[in-house]
Chains A and B, each alone.
Chain A
Amino acid sequence: MGSLFRCEEMTLCQLFLQSEAAYACVSELGELGLVQFRDLNPDVNSFQRKFVNEVRRCDEMERKLRFLEKEIKKDGIPMLDIGDNPEAPQPREMIDLEATFEKLENELKEVNTNAEALKKTYLELTELKHILRKTQAFFDEAEFHHAQMHDPSMQEESVTLLGEEGLRAGGQALKLGFVAGVVLRERLPSFERMLWRVCRGNVFLRQAEIDTPLEDPVSGDQVNKCVFIVFFQGEQLKSRVKKICEGFRATLYPCPETPADRREMSIGVMTRIEDLNTVLGQTTDHRHRVLVAAAKNIKNWFVKVRKIKAIYHTLNLFNLDVTQKCLISECWCAVCDLEKIQMALRRGTERSGSTVPSILNRMDSKETPPTYNRTNKFTRGFQNIVDAYGVASYREVNPAPYTIITFPFLFAVMFGDAGHGLIMALFGLWMVLKEKALSAQKSDNEIWNTFFNGRYIILLMGTFSIYTGLIYNDVFSKSLNIFGSSWNSPAMKELFPSHIQLNPASQYQGVPYPFGIDPVWQVAENKILFMNSYKMKVSVILGVSQMIFGVSLSLINHKYFKHPLNVICEFVPQIIFLLAIFGYLVLLIFAKWVTYDVSDSSCARSLLIMLINMFIFSYPTHPCYLSAMYNGQEGIQAILVILAIVCIPWMLFVKPFILRRQWLNRPHLMSSPKPADGAIDEGEVVHEDGTTRIEAGHEESEEGFNFGDVFIHQAIHTIEYCLGSISHTASYLRLWALSLAHAQLSEVLWTMVMKIGFVVPTWPGGIILYLIFAFWAGLTIGVLLIMEGLSAFLHALRLHWVEFQSKFYGGTGYMFSPFSFETILELASTEDK
């Protein structure tokens, strides 16, 4: 419990681990996750460390696993994630693992190469099948033309003409050579263009698309291809065409010239395809079996390998002692965990079978220990809010426990609407109740995770908003009249008057509404005036109380760190300054609320002007709202102002000068006799040398205490505090401003949207209301809950970080990051995604 108020007490420890036990011990510590190791060889390269070979082996294993995983995913086999957490295997098991992975990888690779070869043949055969089928059409066409040419019924002239030409060309004119093949569809246009260019238009290309996409055997992608057939004449063109085909990665297939051969071939191809299909099926079955077997264990293996790797990475941080017998490491850990760590070490030593126990030594260190706040699922969110601003300095007061209450409260002051609060609280409650199921889903949606991690904050914010909403008597911008208003209704001229001005002199019954604001204000014309005055004053009261609380926390800090000087020179003037000005203002606010009623309200004192007049020592007597509130006011105010002003030099000068005197009066043991000795021993010759030594000594003392630095530091602090307490008070007025904005926005939404649904009479009104409600509800959730909620959250955050924490919080520490398998595995699994 103590750790919530300030961080754990940490200690630096030295660990002596027997080399053979080191692995098991580190593994136990990793399961525990309570120790942060320090790098003892920071200037050694990552590849020159001791266990680099083991790390490399782990890398290699991980690579094989990734390969397996990729193959498993490719086949869409579900990977079993039972979420169990196997222990880090012994180093000797590593070899077994390596062998298993090696075997699997090789097996899989072999299957893959086989499958690839088979698929390649399959692809070739399918392509050939398509070629045969498509070219058939081309040839048919050609036959047809051929037939036409040789048609005996054709006219005499044309036949002789053609015949003569054919004869001149050596009788081979009509015997065209051709090449058939398959090319990627997207490359076809440039292929065609190139063919035309290179052969100067002397080739004839026919092409047809293959409708079904084919599978590329290497990458496994689906590709679209085209069948083409090129007719040409002569050997030279043939070689050119072939070169181009090669250039465009077109696959050429032999295609018989006669239809009978083609038919025969295509039958052969079909039977071969069928044979191949069965073989392919067997190969994929085998592959599937191998992968299914691997998929059962792969998550487990990943965890194991990652654990081994983490252990060796940690062992790389250790130092080897001279005898090479044991490893020395330094680590930070919490004092109260020492027992557990000892136990873990003992377990580790036992497990490794070593006889010599591992030794844990506490060490004294001048270094600032890391800050470790133990959290549970409830406090974690609030601790994160604080840590986001800055990690607390070691052992300083931790604002998180106070934030648990003040944060949702200040949020609720700005978000005061019971209806909206209820929705928010229910959402928070749902997340809290379904916690286990939801966190098991491990969504990687960043926005959802943010909300989910802040579920307790949301629940509290919602609950507090219900409370403030009831105080403001605001439920979806409407009021609840539970106890019956304590105001009489004014004499009304019409049934639904557009303005109702409440007049306390005539309408108030004298007994206040028991809880919160009277519902009658909801319909009153002067509601805003009334609420503004109330909310503004409440903001100042809340703000000043929180600041005073913050300053008081600094007293606890000073006392804990034993700085009595800071108590006298910082805390006391600070609290006096704050109380004298703003504490007094708060007092006046309460006095004003209590003293004035409707009869003398015209003389109710204006507090703002009174505060200004207090500083310029002016005390007017009329008008009556500027005159003194009580007897002796002038005297008391003068004293308060003078007190506050005295506090400024008090804060500014006292501490630096006292520190300086302490420094000058410190016992001089070393510095004075030295030059004297030198002078005596070495005579006058070295006198000059002696003086320089004194100077050097003086410089050294200035290094230890630099008055200028201390003074400037103090001056900055003083100015910051004095100006800050004024501006921070003003800053708390955002509580009023945001709550006003929220109330007005929800009221506008009601009157502009929801009200429309009510004004249409009879049954169409119902339909319209039905539609309007959806619109209204959507806007309520989207704008009022989410957007306004975020804005109120941000302002509450700012009030805590700047206005509250600046009073006492250093935030210069660094986080304790223990070596823990859990975090390492989590990190790895998020990286995977």
Chain B
Amino acid sequence: MSDLYFNIESGYLEGLVRGFKSGILKHTEYLNLVQCETLEDLKLHLQSTDYGNFLANEPSPLTVSVIDDKLREKLVIEFRHLRNHSVEPLSTFLDFITYSYMIDNIILLITGTLHQRPISELISKCNPLGSFDQMEAIHIASTPAELYNAVLVDTPLAPFFVDCISEQDLDELNIEIIRNTLYKAYLEDFYKFCEKTGGTTADVMCDILAFEADRRAFIITINSFGTELTKEDRSKLYPRCGKLYPDGLAALAKADDYEQVKIIAEHYAEYRALFEGSGNNPGEKTLEDKFFEHEVKLNVNAFLQQFHFGVFYAYVKLKEQECRNIVWISECVAQHHRAKIDNYIPIL
């Protein structure tokens, strides 16, 4: 029944986002980009793609950071357009997408102030998708409780933060814990929201979010080896909306080294494939890249169905991946370091 009304409310935006999606660079375009000798070549080539003249008003010489900014700016403009034209429940859905960037921004700012960096320099590094009013005043907080009371209480992230208030100070480890707790709460909440929305949105988004949750669980586990994080604390950071919940997470909580993690992944068909194909040797793809590839696949698959919100999420993520790819290639081109230029994640 909701499908009937979908086009009235979000049909225009869905059409728009599908149009945007068709502008995502194809394999052949990557092949051409990789051949570029200089960033000017890259600019010339991007002109023939959907990016068009987005670099036309930039004076030479071009730098990677300018390209990065412009790429991001384009995505932000597109996303804001979508957000401004959306109605409930799509607008909440789109807001949820921005929350993850808000979390990243907060963490970036706290870490930055911890290292005594000037706030203006940090602000320019923040993702504009996740900016909010009180963001720039974040450096007044020296404890999580202050952070919550002064800054976050007015933001939509407040409910996610409730679990972190007990932490004592803001040091490196605690910031990491805060980040992961926030993320966990965010993912679980987003998952619930998608479930509540129901229909195809739930089908598509729950799959993507479950993978996201599991990926975080794996990575947290692997990164925690050799740090002072206790197993008990670690298990608190696992998002509980993935396919690993509850058995896999319980097993992960007990894992002591990479091999054990791999054995746990064996029980899940899709993750087994990812772990098997990965490695750190030259010629092999890292586990992280494997995860990215899988994410891209899920996101591309989201476009196979109609009348759901998953396409908006998938589009933002795919575009983000594309920006990473282009920046990677431009870095390789700029530094004349062509050996690893093929290590981008192709978007199918």
Whether A190 lies near B140 (C-beta < 8 A) is: no
Tell which of A48, A197, A240, A249 touches B136, judged by Cβ atoms closer than 8 Å: A249
Whether A67 lies near B137 (C-beta < 8 A) is: no
Query: Cβ of B154 < 8 Å from any Cβ of A?
Result: yes
B187 CB to closest chain A CB (Å) equals: 28
B146 CB to closest chain A CB (Å) equals: 8
Which A residue sits closest to B48, measured CB to CB?
A46
Whether A193 lies near B154 (C-beta < 8 A) is: yes
Query: Cβ of B36 < 8 Å from any Cβ of A?
Result: yes
Whether B140 lies near A63 (C-beta < 8 A) is: no
Query: Cβ of A187 < 8 Å from any Cβ of B?
Result: yes
Query: Cβ of A579 < 8 Å from any Cβ of B?
Result: no
A59 CB to closest chain B CB (Å) equals: 7
B62 CB to closest chain A CB (Å) equals: 11
Q: Bound complex: CA of A193 vs CA of B146, how far in Å?
A: 14
A587 CB to closest chain B CB (Å) equals: 55
Q: Bound complex: CA of A45 vs CA of B32, how far in Å?
A: 7
* Interface-side segment among B38-46, B192-200, B217-225: B38-46
Whether B44 lies near A243 (C-beta < 8 A) is: no
Query: Cβ of A247 < 8 Å from any Cβ of B?
Result: yes
* Interface-side segment among B53-61, B88-96, B264-272: B53-61
Chain A residues with CB under 8 Å of B37's CB are: 47
Q: Bound complex: CA of A756 vs CA of B10, how far in Å?
A: 48
Chain B residues with CB under 8 Å of A187's CB are: 133
Which B residue sits closest to A197, measured CB to CB?
B150
Q: Bound complex: CA of A63 vs CA of B154, how far in Å?
A: 44
Whether B45 lies near A190 (C-beta < 8 A) is: no
Whether A198 lies near B134 (C-beta < 8 A) is: no
Which B residue sits closest to A190, measured CB to CB?
B133
- Known: A190-B154, A194-B150, A197-B153. Is A243-B36 also a contact (CB below 8 A)? no
Query: Cβ of A56 < 8 Å from any Cβ of B?
Result: yes
A382 CB to closest chain B CB (Å) equals: 35
| Per-position 1/0 for A240-258, Cβ under 8 A of B | 1001101111000000000
Whether B57 lies near A67 (C-beta < 8 A) is: yes
| Per-position 1/0 for B150-179, Cβ under 8 A of A | 110110000000000000000000000000
Chain B residues with CB under 8 Å of A240's CB are: 140
Q: Bound complex: CA of A156 vs CA of B36, how far in Å?
A: 88
B21 CB to closest chain A CB (Å) equals: 24
Query: Cβ of A214 < 8 Å from any Cβ of B?
Result: no
B324 CB to closest chain A CB (Å) equals: 22
Query: Cβ of B139 < 8 Å from any Cβ of A?
Result: yes
Chain A residues with CB under 8 Å of B154's CB are: 190, 193
Tell which of A47, A67, A243 touches B140, judged by Cβ atoms closer than 8 Å: A243
Whether B56 lies near A244 (C-beta < 8 A) is: no
| Per-position 1/0 for B108-134, Cβ under 8 A of A | 000000000001000000000000011
Query: Cβ of B149 < 8 Å from any Cβ of A?
Result: yes
Query: Cβ of A60 < 8 Å from any Cβ of B?
Result: yes
Which A residue sits closest to B136, measured CB to CB?
A247
Tell which of A47, A60, A62, A63 touches B45, judged by Cβ atoms closer than 8 Å: A47
Which A residue sits closest to B58, measured CB to CB?
A63
Whether A63 lies near B153 (C-beta < 8 A) is: no
Tell which of B40, B48, B153 touches A56, judged by Cβ atoms closer than 8 Å: B40
Q: Bound complex: CA of A780 vs CA of B304, how far in Å?
A: 50
Chain B residues with CB under 8 Å of A351's CB are: none
Tell which of B36, B134, B135, B136 touches A47, judged by Cβ atoms closer than 8 Å: B36
**In chain A between 190 and 204, which residues have their CB closer than 8 angstroms to a CB of chain B?**
190, 193-194, 197-198
Chain B residues with CB under 8 Å of A272's CB are: none
Q: Bound complex: CA of A203 vs CA of B176, how far in Å?
A: 34
Chain B residues with CB under 8 Å of A48's CB are: 35
Q: Bound complex: CA of A187 vs CA of B32, how far in Å?
A: 47
Whether B44 lies near A47 (C-beta < 8 A) is: yes
- Known: A47-B44, A247-B136. Is A197-B56 also a contact (CB below 8 A)? no
Chain A residues with CB under 8 Å of B149's CB are: 197
Query: Cβ of B138 < 8 Å from any Cβ of A?
Result: yes
Which A residue sits closest to B36, measured CB to CB?
A47
Whether A59 lies near B56 (C-beta < 8 A) is: yes
Tell which of A56, A62, A66, A67 touches B44, judged by Cβ atoms closer than 8 Å: A56
| Per-position 1/0 for B53-74, Cβ under 8 A of A | 0001111100000000000000
**In chain A between 164 and 198, which residues have their CB closer than 8 angstroms to a CB of chain B?**
187, 190, 193-194, 197-198
Residue with the greatest number of chain B CB neighbours at <10 A, chosen from A47, A48, A63, A246: A47
Whether B150 lies near A198 (C-beta < 8 A) is: yes
Q: Bound complex: CA of A62 vs CA of B57, how far in Å?
A: 9
Interface size class of A (residues with CB under 8 A): 20 to 34
Q: Total contacts A to B, CB within 8 angstroms?
A: 65
Q: Bound complex: CA of A52 vs CA of B44, how far in Å?
A: 9
Whether A60 lies near B60 (C-beta < 8 A) is: yes
Q: Bound complex: CA of A20 vs CA of B184, how far in Å?
A: 68
Residue with the greatest number of chain B CB neighbours at <10 A, chosen from A45, A46, A56, A60: A45
Chain A residues with CB under 8 Å of B136's CB are: 246-249
Q: Bound complex: CA of A59 vs CA of B58, how far in Å?
A: 11
Whether B119 lies near A45 (C-beta < 8 A) is: no
Whether B137 lies near A63 (C-beta < 8 A) is: no
Which A residue sits closest to B35, measured CB to CB?
A45
Q: Bound complex: CA of A473 vs CA of B32, how far in Å?
A: 69
Q: Bound complex: CA of A48 vs CA of B134, how far in Å?
A: 49
Chain B residues with CB under 8 Å of A67's CB are: 57
**In chain A between 399 and 426, which residues have their CB closer than 8 angstroms to a CB of chain B?**
none
Q: Bound complex: CA of A462 vs CA of B11, how far in Å?
A: 42
Chain A residues with CB under 8 Å of B153's CB are: 197
A69 CB to closest chain B CB (Å) equals: 11
Whether B41 lies near A47 (C-beta < 8 A) is: yes
Which B residue sits closest to A67, measured CB to CB?
B57
Whether A247 lies near B45 (C-beta < 8 A) is: no
B42 CB to closest chain A CB (Å) equals: 8
B251 CB to closest chain A CB (Å) equals: 43
Whether B137 lies near A247 (C-beta < 8 A) is: yes
- Known: A59-B56, A63-B57. Is A46-B140 also a contact (CB below 8 A)? no
Q: Bound complex: CA of A246 vs CA of B134, how far in Å?
A: 11
Which B residue sits closest to A243, measured CB to CB?
B140
Q: Bound complex: CA of A67 vs CA of B58, how far in Å?
A: 10
Q: Bound complex: CA of A246 vs CA of B35, how far in Å?
A: 46
- Known: A45-B32, A246-B119. Is A190-B134 also a contact (CB below 8 A)? yes
Chain B residues with CB under 8 Å of A243's CB are: 137, 139-140
Chain A residues with CB under 8 Å of B60's CB are: 60
Tell which of B44, B59, B140 touches A244, judged by Cβ atoms closer than 8 Å: B140
Whether A194 lies near B35 (C-beta < 8 A) is: no
Chain B residues with CB under 8 Å of A60's CB are: 59-60
Q: Bound complex: CA of A45 vs CA of B46, how far in Å?
A: 12
**In chain A between 70 and 100, which residues have their CB closer than 8 angstroms to a CB of chain B?**
none
Pick 30 A–B contacts, CB within 8 A, sort by A.
A45-B35, A46-B47, A46-B48, A47-B36, A47-B37, A47-B40, A47-B41, A47-B45, A56-B40, A59-B44, A59-B56, A60-B59, A60-B60, A63-B59, A66-B56, A190-B133, A190-B134, A190-B154, A193-B154, A194-B137, A197-B149, A197-B150, A197-B153, A198-B146, A240-B140, A244-B140, A246-B119, A247-B139, A248-B136, A248-B137
Q: Which chain B residues have a beta carbon within 8 Å of chain A's beta carbons?
A: 32, 35-37, 40-41, 44-45, 47-48, 56-60, 119, 133-140, 146, 149-151, 153-154
Q: Which chain A residues have a beta carbon within 8 Å of chain B's beta carbons?
A: 45-48, 52, 55-56, 59-60, 62-63, 66-67, 187, 190, 193-194, 197-198, 240, 243-244, 246-249
A-B interface, 10 closest residue pairs, ranked by CB to CB distance from nearest: A247-B137, A47-B41, A247-B136, A243-B140, A198-B150, A47-B44, A190-B133, A197-B150, A244-B137, A45-B32
Other contacts beyond A52-B44, A243-B137: 13, CB < 8 A: A46-B47, A56-B44, A59-B44, A60-B60, A63-B57, A194-B134, A194-B150, A198-B150, A243-B139, A243-B140, A246-B137, A247-B138, A248-B137
